Every structure is written in structure tokens, then in C-alpha cells.
A and B are shown apart, each in its own frame.
Chain A
Amino acid sequence: MRIEDNQKKKKKITVSGVLLYALLIALALVYLLPLVWMLSVSLKSNREVLTSPFTPPSVLQLGNYIFAWINGQLGVATLNSVIVCTTALVISLLIGAMAAFAIARMRLGFLKYMMQYFLIGMMIPVHCVLIPLFVRFSNWHLTNQLIGLIIPYITFSLPMTIFLMTGFFKSMPGEIFEAACIDGCSIYGCFIRIALPLSRVGMFVAGIMTFVGNWNELLLAMVFISDVAKKTLPVTLTYFVGPYATNYVQMFAAIIIAIAPTIIVYSIFSNQIVDGLTTGAVKG
């Protein structure tokens, strides 16, 4: 009886299961095909794109990438993006983890309000502070400098970092810190020697989110930087809309160059990223 029941159940699952998987695969194609198509277009010649946009390229035009890299000045842009994002990443992780440690672990009344203060930052769009920030930064001669982008990027990454890291620090058992204290460890030692090494997963996730967010940021970079040699990648891409508008293949080659690092990092670490993000979000 029981075996029959199980078999019945199994059969039922496979029937609806086929439909379910068909739907999921169709959706996955909606996600992947545009990206694959973009890759195929970036390897065609301009004429081929106009005559037969949906067939695979007949001859691989690798020259598109070289042209986009040189004419679109993607090399400089990539370097700038790397400098800005890495610096912002390191500093915001350090500052964010420090604040999160105090909020999660220390017992002082005002720290609760601190958390709310930082969370308000998540609700405020960058656009709202764009003008005063621009005015102030031009007075301080920080516009057209990479440091002028790094400072706001650090600030706008902080709420997310603090939110995620607080979740991770809270989930650590208090006994570890007690034991360290008994052995004569200071509060700074607790942070540097215990909390930081134990929260590597959290740091990793917060770090990736910060990096990706800043890597893709367009508005601030567009407003703050007008010097061509200081532009970041997303800004450089927008130039392909204007003067290069008919040169589709180079535009797509440039886009591929710009998003390839993100796709590669994501496909290597996607499980950790997605899981780590939700751990922090649910606990916090």
C-alpha cells in the first residue's frame, strides 16, 4: 500500500515536473539568450549585423575588440574603475566592519540608534545629495579626481556593509569573546583577532556587493568626472550611444569587455554570494 502510494506520488511529480522544468528552462533562456546574442553580435561585421542579426557570425571579427579597446579608451577606463572600486572596497569594509562590530557586540544604549541612523542611508537615493556634494567637491577641487569618487562610494556602500556584517557578528557565540577576555585580550584584540577572521564569509559577500555596486555606478561618475583620462567604465560605455551610434559591433564589444569581469567573478562565486547575502538579510 505504502509502496504503491509512493509510486503514485512519484509519477504525479514527473508529469507536473516536466511542465515545471520546461517553464524554468524557457525563463533561463530569456535570461541567457540576450547575453549570448550580444556576444555573437560583437564578433560580426557591421554589415552582417544589419542583414542577418540572429545568425551566428560567419567570420569571427576579433578586430572589434581591439578597436573598442583602443578607440573607446577602455584600457584607461578599466584601470580607473579598478582603482576606484578596490580602494572603496577595502576602506568601506574596514570602516563598516568596525561600526558593525560595535553595534552587534557592545552593550551601550546609543548604538541601537546608530544602526537606525545607518539604515536611513539605505532609503536615501544618491540623486538627492548629488548637487550639494558636487558643489562642495568642486570647491575642494575634488571633482575630476578619482578620490572624489572614492569618498562617496565608500559612504554609499556603508549601510549595506554594516547591515550584512552586523548580522554576521550577531550570529557568533558570545563565549569566544568571553574566553578571549579572560585570557587578557582587549576589545580591539577581540575585533582584530577574533571577529574579523571568523566573519570571512560575511566580509566576502559584503565586499562583492560593494565592488559590483560601485563597478556599475553611473550617475555619480558621470557628474563628478569630466576629464576623459579619469572616466570609469560605465561612463565610457555611454559614449558609444552618441558619436558611435551606428557602430554597433564595437559598442557590443565594449559592453562585453565591461561586463565580462563581473560575469566571471559571479559564475565562480555565485553560490557563496547568493547564500551569504540571504543569511545576512534574514538574520538582520
Chain B
Amino acid sequence: MTHIPHNRWRPATTEPALVRWALIVLCLAMLAILLVAPLMVVFDEALRRGWAFALASLSEPDAQAAIRLTLLVAALTVPLNAVFGIAAAWAVTKFDWRGKAWVITLIDLPFSISPVVAGLLFVLMFGANSALGAWLVAQGFPIVFAVPGIVLATLFITFPFVARELIPVMLEQGRAEEEAALTLGASGWRTFLTVTLPNIRWALLYGVLLCNARAMGEFGAVAVVSGKIRGQTTTMPLMIEMFYNEYLSVAAFTMAGVLALLAFVTLTLKTALEWRYADQLAASHRH
């Protein structure tokens, strides 16, 4: 019997150990350069003059107003998007109708449109040079260069997030459970709340997490519609740009650090969902 030393033996479906480790090291080095370094530099720059200085920059009135506005925009956008996502997923997965593919394409469209163009759309529609915009301004309800415009642009940018998560999950789950509930006499709402919602809650949360991260961090679309009025229409990402252009480096990077922490929390929760509830998320997140 020939003896095969087991440290030399390798299955036919993998690469030599040397190649494997070279590729692993290459990938880790690239990720360190591309992802970790930018994250670290944010905190390094923010804390360049100490914690007290960094935190003081956050308590400035303009910075406070920006934080409040970003929270307000997210609080308005995310629930609206969740409602849209649930309605769209219900209409698409529980019924058979013509034109479904077109509607799904339309829902995904905002992902392939530049944020700047998204902002432009609402300036054209509601800006002072359009009839509708001029009328709204006369009524004392301006949309562009005001909070409603920021909310609309953010809604556009984040539009597909919840629907995209829910549609594949609900397609996979089928209609049998809902049909059973209806046969047993449950009302439509009761069926949704006690049968559908528990089945899709983690996918919904997943979509909401991503939607919220984008809503709080959106820059291009909001920059176009906001008019960047300090303390009034300046969200956190816009405030970062203002501080940065005014050479207030610590203030810019401290605000960036707050948003980086938000990104960190988003990633952590998202990963926790993927590890724990993978079977209840869209198939593309399972690994």
C-alpha cells in the first residue's frame, strides 16, 4: 500500500496551500487599504485635538440642527418606504396581473439614476421656475430648498430598498398560509398581521436598516434640493461638506465619525440578522 503523507495530499477541488494563502493575504491587504484605512482615518482626524474638542464641535447650534434634520428626514422617509415596500410586495406576490415585470423595473429604476439627477427631478417639478412650484411658494409651502424637497429626494433614492427585500421572500413563501387563514375565516388585516407579518418581519427589518442607512447618509440628491441653508436645510452629510470646505477639519471628521458609527451599527445589525435569521431573508443574503 502506498502511503500518502497527509500534509502533501490535497483534494482535486482546491488550490495548493501556497496559492490559497497568497490569495487570502492579497485579499486581506486590499481590504485593509480600501476599507479599513478610510474608516480609521475618520476617527484619527476627528480626535486629532482630543475628545473634548471633537465633542464641542458637535454641540454647536449648526451641527445640532443638522443632526435633528437628518433624524427628522429618516423618521419621515423610512416609514413611508416601509409602507410602500409592503404594499408593493403584497400586490406583486399575492396577485397575478399583467405588467408586473414593468412595475418591478420601475421600482428598481432609482438604483441606476445618479443622485444628482434625482435631485434635479424635484427641482424641475417643484422649483420656483415651475408653475406648480411657484404656486406652492405663494401658498407659503415651498418644497425645493426646504425640508419637503429633502424628504422627496431621499424617498426617491431609497425607494427600492424595502420592496426589493420583501418581494423575493414573499414569492418564496407563496400564498398557501394566507389562503388557509382566509379559509378559516380570518379577515384580510388579521391574515396580514398574524400570518404574513411574522413571516416577513426579519426581511422587513433588513430592508428598513439599509433604507435608514442610505436615508441618513444621502448626499448628492439632498445637496441639489436643499439649497444648503445653514441651520435649516443642512443635513449631516451636507454639514460635513460645509465644515470641510471651511477648513474646520475636526468638526467635519467628527460629524463623519458619527455617521461612520451609524454605518458600523447598521453593518452589525445586518450581519446579526444574516447569521440568525438567514432562512427568513432573501436568498441572496444567505451564506
| Chains A and B form a bound pair | no
Instruction: Give A contacts to B, CB under 8 Å.
Output: none
| B binding-site residues for A, Cβ under 8 Å | none
